[in-house]
Chains A and B, each alone.
Chain A
Amino acid sequence: MTQNQTAANKISTYILLIVVTVMGLAIVSIFSAIYAYTLDQTIEAGFLALIGAFGLALSGMVLYQSKRRVDAMKIEAPKMMTYIECKNCGTKTTREFQRTDFVFKELDVCPKCPEQKQMIVGIYKEIKEKEKTYAI
């Protein structure tokens, strides 16, 4: 069970192995291209450089895609906040949600009004949406 969760959470070892191999070969190819260029074999140097660049781009793309897949697996739990208010003086405070909190729950007395208890008036999360707009 835990293995499955871990597998879903990280980039596959096989993919990583292939990517590293391709990347290594691509780097070797680029070095070879430089060497060929120093020998004045420009066409061959060009081929080797092209192969190297293609290999690097391909492995980079596979890594990026795998990372995106792993990121998509993550479920973001937004922070829930509890909003507290004194009905007498209107003092508002905010804190992180605690398990026993619920809306309309009466809490300790207000620090400003000794006889008035504070109350939870809201428990909600704030999301800053990056939603695309499809305005028509």
Chain B
Amino acid sequence: MTLIPTNDMISQLVSNLSIRSNQFFGGGGDGWTSYIGILMYGVIFVMMFYGQRLQVHMMIKDVEGSLHKLKFIKEEGRKTAIETLKDVGKPTTDITSRVDRCLDYFTISPQSMDPAGIVAKLDHILDVRDQRIKDDVKLMIPQCEGDQLNNMENTLEAAMALNYIYKVVRHYYIQGKKTMSLYVIMQLQMILPIVMKEAEAYGAALKAFSQGQPIGDSVGPLIAGKLMYGHEVREVYKDCVVATVPFEGRTAIVMKAKGPGGNVGKPGDAIETIIEENEGKIAMLIMIDAGLKLEGENVGEVSEGIGSAIGGPGVDAFKIEEKLVKYKIPINAIIIKQDIGDAVSPMRKEIHEAADKAIELVRELVLERTKENDTLVIFGVGNSIGIGQ
């Protein structure tokens, strides 16, 4: 059978078409207007009863598209995590099922009915979680040590975050589809652009962690590293390093998380230790960190302010603030602006270049706000992945 119509077929089609068009339009203006009128009434009638349903369907389709993309990113993340673990650790057994188990890990935050002492509880739970993931990586690839172990832990954590985001979005999508509730789907659709941005950032972070590349958040440790380079470095608290550096006639105690493995250390405990070591005689604490930029601001903009510039669940900020209050130490913050995507994905040129601007700002701050021979603490907060000391 051929698809090319014969002359007879076309002649028949043309004659049918002309007959139908004459019947349909009635050959007069009345036919046209009545047809359009009926059509309009029909549309209004259908929209009255099915308008919202139609809207829900359109929203569901929109969410479905994003969910497909999320699933793709999540699967890519899982694949990257497994391949990197295999590549780095050369395991003798199949680690796939173990990785899948890890991806489903959850953390239950401590009970807050009686909030007194919750910081210590949260700190403990986070420590246990961190250790648990490290132990799992060790079980999968026993010969993995030090920086590599930290990088693998970070890789697995990024894959876990992607898995969690996908599952939550899928949950609300199915719930919305089941109930056909405009409000469930609408809420999901409204936050989806932000969720997708975060998921894409974690997707990029996974590659960076698996390769050991610096990320946007590493700008704090990069600045501290630049300040402490060439000076004797010692470990002060779990995964935190410190160097005593002469700086503009003052003594700067420069601190950062230990690199070049993926590591944020325990800044709260490290600063506590240093302040106690110096019996509280600290003229100023300067914290340098990556900060979220607002839309309209440029990536790599440097800003200064007051307060403890540190993210996370708040445990470290709490510990630092407690000590500062005890010894009445002034605190200054310098942030390097970037969005969430830049913060967890491989470092951008603008962020790298902002390091020198931030150092200049530290210099100005120290000269203006401290006296000669003072001792001050400078902490480069963030993940030290790809940044040595």
A residues touching B (Cβ–Cβ < 8 Å)?
A: 1, 4-5, 8-9, 24, 28, 31-32, 35-36, 39, 41, 43-44, 47-48, 69, 72-73, 75, 77-78, 80, 97, 99-105, 122-127, 134, 136
Residues of A within 8 A of B71 (CB): 4, 8
Give the residue name and chain of the A residue nearest to B69 (CB). A73
Residues of A within 8 A of B347 (CB): 123-125
CB distance from A101 to the nearest CB of B (A): 7
Contact among A31, A73, A78, A99 with B211 in the assembled complex (CB-CB below 8 Å): A99
Tell me how many residue pairs across A and B have CB atoms closer than 8 Å.
Answer: 106
Q: Tell yes or no: B18 within 8 A of A by CB.
A: yes
| Chain B 214-228 residues near chain A, CB threshold 8 A | 214, 222, 225
Known: A75-B203, A102-B387, A105-B388. A28 touches B346 (CB 8 A): no
- Contact yes or no, B65 A44, CB < 8 A: no
- Contact yes or no, B14 A102, CB < 8 A: no
Q: Tell yes or no: B36 within 8 A of A by CB.
A: no
Residues of A within 8 A of B386 (CB): 101-103, 123
Q: How far is the CA of A125 from the CA of B348 in the complex (A)?
A: 5
- Contact yes or no, A32 B212, CB < 8 A: no
Contact among B11, B73, B214 with A75 in the assembled complex (CB-CB below 8 Å): B73
Q: Tell yes or no: B72 within 8 A of A by CB.
A: yes
Q: Tell yes or no: B68 within 8 A of A by CB.
A: yes
16 extra A-B contacts, CB within 8 A, seeds A1-B75, A97-B211, A103-B387: A4-B71, A4-B72, A4-B75, A41-B14, A41-B18, A43-B18, A43-B21, A47-B21, A69-B65, A75-B204, A99-B212, A104-B225, A104-B389, A122-B352, A124-B349, A136-B296
Give the residue name and chain of the A residue nearest to B355 (CB). A122
Q: Tell yes or no: B83 within 8 A of A by CB.
A: no
14 contacting pairs across A/B (C-beta < 8 A): A5-B76, A8-B71, A32-B10, A32-B13, A35-B10, A36-B14, A48-B17, A75-B76, A75-B204, A102-B259, A103-B386, A104-B229, A104-B388, A123-B214
- Contact yes or no, B260 A80, CB < 8 A: no
Q: How far is the CA of A9 from the CA of B18 in the complex (A)?
A: 45
Residues of A within 8 A of B17 (CB): 44, 47-48
Residues of A within 8 A of B352 (CB): 122, 124
